Structure 1
Amino acid sequence: MKEYYADLHIHIGRTRSGQPVKITGAKTLTFSNIIEVASERKGLDLIGIIDCHSPEVIEEIEEGMRSGEITEMEGGGLHYRDMSIIPGSEIEIYDQNCHGPIHVLAYFPNMEAMKGFSAWMSNHVKNITLSSQRIYCEGKTLQEKVKSLGGLFIPAHVFTPFKSLYGKGVRKSLDEVFNPKLIDAVELGLSSDTYLVEDIEELKAYTFLTNSDAHSLGKIAREYQKLLLREPSFTELEKAIKEKEGRKVTANYGLNPLLGKYYQTVCGTCLHTMPGIGEACSECGGRTIIKGVSTRIAELSDSGTDGKKRTRPPYIHQVPLDFIPGLGPKSMERLLRAFDTEMNILHEATFEQLSGVVPLKMAHFIDSARRGILDFDAGGGGKYGKVKKG
């Protein structure tokens, strides 16, 4: 078996004809650009593109299959050059029991299943061409449909204040919305990590995934995981997240939660840090509070547990290269010319090799970032944290 790098949450901003899919996604975030950048620039082995339900995207994929550029793998998934693609969809739940809005991810083994899901979903959403559309059915009904097509079902960025399983602040348990047995894994999101959430008892049953939720080409692989697989296919991915036959997640790579947009609780008006909920902001007097992920996780943690922790892979705090102070496009291109891909820059290049390509101070920043020893100003209220220049 071999280790592979995987980012399983990448959006499509526009179709090849320029029609919007993820409205907040970049216009350059097309299917063809994604697979090119993820393979050649980022150096990923396995990606999940989660807007493949859109009919024009399906047409583009099938055209690539007819030309031979894309092929379906025997173990599920699509093969492109040296990389595999898992087709998927992000859906928003807001059912009649006021469960929502909650974003979930569904992945499928082949285009036949993807097309079947798209056709079914078109009867339950207002606009099948767009990403993250609200589906008019119960969460458990959606789970059952995904499973009937051989798919994987994963709640997305589960702690963020908006459009997530726990973010609304009123839910205490996932079984209020879902059938726990039909959840395959849980995506943590940018403002949390394994260590923060280890005392939430009901999550101990699930593998944690760390993905980019990329809305632009540059954000691909800002979070990812390393998987031990026989090959980068759908079947092997399913085995890894269920920890079967030796397949598994061997490491999660993600932002230090302080860098996330929603880590701390802040005033919704001026983004001043708030010590608690229910108080007026000491800076502007505002009373609209955006509860931080750290606060929400503390509310959900189970102080009365037996203290046993699930053994999990290491969560490696790694600062994305575009967070590095002073690392602009020209420096990035020099690094890519020297080391081919971002995965090589982050995992293979030595400090000495880096310092031969970029200034010494920048090489120190990159090396410190990938070793998790930088200091940060915390983010909150939709504003990313920052690396302290020191």
Structure 2
Amino acid sequence: MLKNFYADLHIHIGRTFNGRAVKITGSKNLTLANILQTASSQKGLDLIGIIDCHSPGVLEELEHLIAEGSLVPLAEGGLRYDNTTLILGSEIEIYDTNCHGPIHVLAFFPTIMLMKEFSDWMSQHVTNINLSSQRIYCDAKTLQNNVTELGGLFIPAHVFTPFKSLYGKGVLQSLTEVFDPTMIDAIELGLSSDTEMVSKIKELEHYTFVTNSDAHSLGKMAREYQTLYVEDANFVELKKALHNIENRTVSANYGLHPLLGKYHQTVCAKCGHHVQEDAEQCPECDSKQIIKGVATRIQELSSDDHVTERKRPPYVHQVPLDFIPGIGPKVMQKLLTAFGTEMDIIHRTTVQQLATVVPQRIAERIDLARTGQLQFAVGGGGVYGKVQFE
């Protein structure tokens, strides 16, 4: 029977179990064991994509957890931990003569054997296979071919952000300048954008959109996610959902309101002043270091005469619980103790139930946050927007 599963497909690892760095900018407590435990018992995620599984240290830890029985390989792909399925992923940075990158992409594989095979191949084309998001010294289509031949999934990551993305730098006008469009399984929108904003970009018409956290810390897991309408949480069902096979689908996207995204608006990199979309110089400090906002870049790529024919799932604007003033660690723990997981708090509790555990004003703020009824100070230039309450 088909039902909805909560999925966040872009989570980094900060350190291996022996303390070795993987994602250098990731939190030190962002370990594989902590991610699995937090995803299952606190966040309430049914499926997670950990995108540093190519690292030999991570592969070693995965094999250790399988050997001790904490992780169980699934016949249809993925590794089950308690209530959560881990999908083995890798984030790779492309920068070749064709694309003028850097561009980040995600690759996912059904088994640890195939991930090891990919890691062995990748190690011949990167400087340090142990680290996350490494630059690969081959063209994008060669990478796509390798992922496809191994039965993997290929997804361009956070495609509109100003740095390290497909469209963000402003040089490329089409994904066909870089990729084989037939070997793309989905498009990750990233923070600062949503489905409606990109609806007039014609070449994205046929791709499923995913929304993920790009978590560099445990707390940021599930700040963006989606529901997959599938039979079970595994690799085969994920692939079917991305391609709308046998009624499987991404049934809803849940993400920050784009105004909260840290690259939504065009901003002066030096002083942080919000500037006009076509500004070449900051009127406040005269700096020419202008970071083009996602909203502006999407508008450049959009065609006013394009009318989408694809029926997209709803994109629900949510504010993560830890963005809400008044919800610190102690209040969060009270909520978790009372209701189970963050998915339970966000999706399955009423305001009345929440008010039995926290003050009425916080209960009401949670309800406003999960239904997109808040006001925001706009983000930009690497600084997140802020929730504004009266």
Asked if these proteins are the same fold (TM beyond 0.5), I'd say yes
Corresponding residue for residue 238 of structure 1: 239
CA contact (8 A) 1:267 1:273 kept: yes
Q: Which letter maps to 1:126? A: T
- More deviation in 378-387 or 66-75? 66-75
CA contact (8 A) 1:99 1:177 kept: no
Percent identity, please: 63
Shift of the alpha carbon at 1:260? 0.4
The reply on whether 1:65 has 2:66 as its aligned counterpart is yes
CA contact (8 A) 1:262 1:383 kept: yes
Corresponding residue for residue 330 of structure 2: 330
**Hey, what's the Cα distance between the residues in 2 that align with 1:159 and 1:287?**
21
The reply on whether 1:9 has 2:7 as its aligned counterpart is no
Map 1:215-254; keep pairs closer than 5 Å: 215-254=216-255
Per-residue CA deviation, residues 326-346 of structure 1 (Å, 9 max, x unaligned), is: 211111111011011000000
Corresponding residue for residue 291 of structure 1: 292
Per-residue CA deviation, residues 185-240 of structure 1 (Å, 9 max, x unaligned), is: 00000100000000000001100000000000000000000011111110000000
TM-score of the two chains, using structure 1 as the length reference: 0.99
Corresponding residue for residue 387 of structure 2: 387
The reply on whether 1:50 has 2:51 as its aligned counterpart is yes
Look up the SS of the partner of 2:190 in the other structure.
Answer: coil
Map 1:63-212; keep pairs closer than 5 Å: 63-212=64-213
**Hey, what's the Cα distance between the residues in 2 that align with 1:368 and 1:68?**
42
Map 1:16-35; keep pairs closer than 5 Å: 16-35=17-36
**Hey, what's the Cα distance between the residues in 2 that align with 1:92 and 1:14?**
20
Corresponding residue for residue 261 of structure 2: 260
Corresponding residue for residue 321 of structure 1: 321
CA contact (8 A) 2:199 2:308 kept: no
Per-residue CA deviation, residues 58-105 of structure 1 (Å, 9 max, x unaligned), is: 011011111111111011111111111100100000012353100000
Corresponding residue for residue 282 of structure 1: 283
Look up the SS of the partner of 1:363 in the other structure.
Answer: helix
**Hey, what's the Cα distance between the residues in 2 that align with 1:220 and 1:243?**
26
Look up the SS of the partner of 1:387 in the other structure.
Answer: strand
- More deviation in 268-277 or 314-323? 268-277
Corresponding residue for residue 362 of structure 2: 362
Per-residue CA deviation, residues 270-329 of structure 1 (Å, 9 max, x unaligned), is: 111111334321211111100000000000001232x23420000000100111012111
**Hey, what's the Cα distance between the residues in 1 that align with 2:79 and 2:124?**
26
Look up the SS of the partner of 1:376 in the other structure.
Answer: strand
The reply on whether 1:351 has 2:351 as its aligned counterpart is yes
**Hey, what's the Cα distance between the residues in 2 that align with 1:122 and 1:311?**
41
Per-residue CA deviation, residues 333-367 of structure 1 (Å, 9 max, x unaligned), is: 11011011000000011000111111111111100
CA contact (8 A) 2:99 2:178 kept: no
CA contact (8 A) 1:277 1:289 kept: no
Per-residue CA deviation, residues 234-281 of structure 1 (Å, 9 max, x unaligned), is: 000000000000100110000000000100001111111111334321
Look up the SS of the partner of 2:214 in the other structure.
Answer: coil
Q: Which letter maps to 1:147? A: T
Per-residue CA deviation, residues 25-45 of structure 1 (Å, 9 max, x unaligned), is: 000000010000000000010
- More deviation in 40-49 or 308-317? 308-317
Shift of the alpha carbon at 1:50? 0.3
**Hey, what's the Cα distance between the residues in 1 that align with 2:214 and 2:53?**
15
**Hey, what's the Cα distance between the residues in 2 that align with 1:98 and 1:260?**
26
CA contact (8 A) 1:50 1:89 kept: yes
- More deviation in 307-316 or 31-40? 307-316
**Hey, what's the Cα distance between the residues in 1 that align with 2:21 and 2:358?**
38
**Hey, what's the Cα distance between the residues in 2 that align with 1:233 and 1:99?**
35
Runs of 5+ consecutive residues of structure 2 not aligned to the other structure: none
Per-residue CA deviation, residues 154-208 of structure 1 (Å, 9 max, x unaligned), is: 0000000000000010111000000000000000001000000000000011000
Look up the SS of the partner of 2:327 in the other structure.
Answer: coil
CA contact (8 A) 1:265 1:276 kept: yes
TM-score of the two chains, using structure 2 as the length reference: 0.99
Shift of the alpha carbon at 1:123? 0.4
Q: Which letter maps to 1:386? A: K
Shift of the alpha carbon at 1:54? 0.5
Look up the SS of the partner of 1:24 in the other structure.
Answer: coil
Runs of 5+ consecutive residues of structure 1 not aligned to the other structure: none
CA contact (8 A) 2:107 2:153 kept: yes
Q: Which letter maps to 1:297? A: I
CA contact (8 A) 2:228 2:251 kept: yes
RMSD: 0.8
CA contact (8 A) 1:48 1:88 kept: yes
